[in-house]
A and B are shown apart, each in its own frame.
Chain A
Amino acid sequence: AQSVTQPDIHITVSEGASLELRCNYSYGATPYLFWYVQSPGQGLQLLLKYFSGDTLVQGIKGFEAEFKRSQSSFNLRKPSVHWSDAAEYFCAVVEFEGNKLVFGAGTILRVKS
Chain B
Amino acid sequence: GAVVSQHPSRVICKSGTSVKIECRSLDFQATTMFWYRQFPKQSLMLMATSNEGSKATYEQGVEKDKFLINHASLTLSTLTVTSAHPEDSSFYICSASGGSEAFFGQGTRLTVV
A-to-B contact residues, CB < 8 Å: 32, 36, 41-46, 49, 51, 90, 94, 98-106
Contacts and interface: CB of A to CB of B under 8 A. Distances in A.
B43 A44 contact: no
Interface residues of B, number: 24
Label chain B's interface by main secondary structure. Answer: strand
A32 B100 contact: yes
Given A100-B46, A105-B42, 7 more contacts: A51-B100, A90-B43, A100-B34, A101-B102, A104-B43, A105-B43, A106-B43
A102 B34 CA distance: 12
Contacts of B106: 42-43
Interface string B13-35: 00000000000000000001010
Contacts, number: 48
A66 to B, nearest CB: 20
Interface in B45-92: 46, 49, 57, 91
A43 B105 contact: yes
Interface of B: 1, 4, 6, 32, 34, 42-44, 46, 49, 57, 91, 93, 95, 97, 100-107, 109
Contacts of A32: 100
A46 B29 CA distance: 19
A46 B44 contact: no
A46 B43 contact: no
A33 to B, nearest CB: 12
Contacts of B97: 99
Contact of B107 (A41, A46, A104): A41
A103 B43 CA distance: 7
A58 B103 CA distance: 18
B6 to A, nearest CB: 7
B44 A90 contact: yes
A44 B104 CA distance: 6
Contacts of A104: 43
